[in-house]
Amino acid sequence: MARSVIKLARCASVSSALCWQSGLIPSARLLVGHHYKPLQGIQMKKTVLITGASSGFGLMLANSLHKQGLNVIGTSREPEKYAGKVAFKLLRLNVDDDNSIQAFTDELFHHTQRLDVLVNNAGYMVTGIAEETSIELGRQQFETNFWGTVKVTNALLPHFRAQKSGQIITVSSIVGLIGPPNLSYYTASKHAVQGFFKSLRFELDQFNIKVSMVEPVWFKTNLGKNSVSASNGNIADYNIYRKQVNAATQRGMDDAEAPDAVINTISCLIKSKQPKFSNPVGKMTGMMLFLQSYAPKMFEGAILKSVKAEK
C-alpha cells in the first residue's frame, strides 16, 4: 500500500474514554486507566465465542474479555497444544471443514446453555500481484475468510433465533472498504464478508440479533506473519512493481501499532445496547474513507505515487 496511505493506517490507541463519550458504555466510572472493570449484573454473565483464539489477536481479545468477567469460549484447529496455557475453554474447530463445524456446534452446547456473542475472527491473508495469484489459492482464501465465516455463523443462528437475542461481531479489515494493491484476493474476500453481513443484519433484526463489522487498519498481529505469498513472481512485466508494492505492504505491517484499539472497540460493541454496524478502527480511517468517496483521484494518486517511491 502506498506510503502516504499506509501512514493513515497507523493506529492511534483508542482510550477507554471514547466508549463513554460515544455512549457505548453508561459511565466513565467503569473505567480504570485504559482497562475495563468487569461489568456488574447480567453483562458479567455473557458468554462470548471467539473463533481463532489460540494465538495472536484472537488470544489477546479472549484474554481481555475473560479478565473483564465474561465467559469466554475460544476455538483452535489444535486445542490440545494449548491445554493449560489459556484461562478460557478452547474447543476444536476448522472453519474449512463442514464436519468439524458440525462437531464443534454439538460440543459447544454441552459446555454452555446460552451463547450471547459470536466473534468471527478466524482467517488469514494472501498477498501478491493478482495476475500472478493462482485461482486455487484465491479460492482457498475465500473458503476460509468468506465461506468459513458464513458457515460458522449459519451453524449458530438457530440458537440465536431460539433465544430471540444474540450478537455477531465479525473482524473484517479496512480492505473490506477500500482496495489496496498486492492484496486483491484478501480484499475481495473481505468485501464479500462485508456484503454478506450488510444484508444479513436486516434479516436478523426481527430476532433481536445485532450484527457488527470491525474494520481495522494494520495492527501488530499474526496476520502478516501467517500470510501466504501468491507466487515467487513469474511475470517479468511486474518485476519492478512487485518489489515496490511488496516493500509498501511490508512497511504497513512494520509500522503498525499494538491492537489495543481493536480490542477496545469490540469490548465497547459487546457492552453497547445499540452497536453500530460498521466500525473502522485506526488512525485516519475516517479521512481515508472520505477521500475514497469524495476525492477518489487524490486517494488513488496517493497510492500510486507512494508505491512508486519505494525502492
Q: Is there a contact between 72 and 116 (Cβ–Cβ < 8 Å)?
A: no
Helices (H) and strands (E) in the chain, counts: 11, 11
Query: 210: which strand partners?
Result: 167
pLDDT winner (highest mean) among 43-47, 80-84, 163-167 = 163-167
**Catalytic-labelled residue, pool 186, 238, 241, 294:** 186
Sorting pLDDT into bands at 50, 70 and 90, what band is 59?
Answer: very high
For 19-33, 52-66, 192-206, which range has the lowest pLDDT when averaged over its residues?
Answer: 19-33
Over residues 9-46, the pLDDT tens digits come to 333 333 333 443 333 433 323 333 333 344 443 344 79
Over residues 206-232, the pLDDT tens digits come to 999 999 999 998 776 666 566 788 876
Over residues 93-131, the pLDDT tens digits come to 999 999 999 999 999 999 999 999 999 999 999 999 999
Measured distance CA(206)–CA(257) in Å, rounded: 39
Measured distance CA(153)–CA(141) in Å, rounded: 18
DSSP H or E stretch at residue 135? helix 135-142
| DSSP secondary structure string for all residues of 115-133 | --EEEE-----EEB-GGGS
Measured distance CA(19)–CA(296) in Å, rounded: 31
Q: Is there a contact between 154 and 105 (Cβ–Cβ < 8 Å)?
A: no
pLDDT of residue 38: 41
Measured distance CA(96)–CA(122) in Å, rounded: 10
For 154-158, 196-200, 222-226, which range has the lowest pLDDT when averaged over its residues?
Answer: 222-226
Annotation says 124 is catalytic: no
DSSP H or E stretch at residue 266? helix 260-271
DSSP H or E stretch at residue 48? strand 47-50
Please determine, looking at this structure, whether the domain spanning 15-237+258-298 carries the CATH number 3.40.50.720: yes
Over residues 250-286, the pLDDT tens digits come to 887 777 677 889 999 999 999 999 999 999 998 888 8
Measured distance CA(298)–CA(311) in Å, rounded: 22
Mean pLDDT, the chain, integer = 84
pTM (2 d.p.):
0.83
Rounded to the nearest 10 degrees, how much is the dihedral formed by the CA atoms of 181, 213, 56, 223? Answer: -10
| C-alpha cell read off for 46 | 455473557
User: Residue 226's closest CA among 55, 93, 7?
Assistant: 55
| C-alpha cell read off for 102 | 458440525
CA 201 vs. chain centroid, Å, equals 17
pLDDT of residue 24: 42
| C-alpha cell read off for 9 | 493506517
Burial of 10 (0-12, 13-18, 19+ CB in 10 A): middle
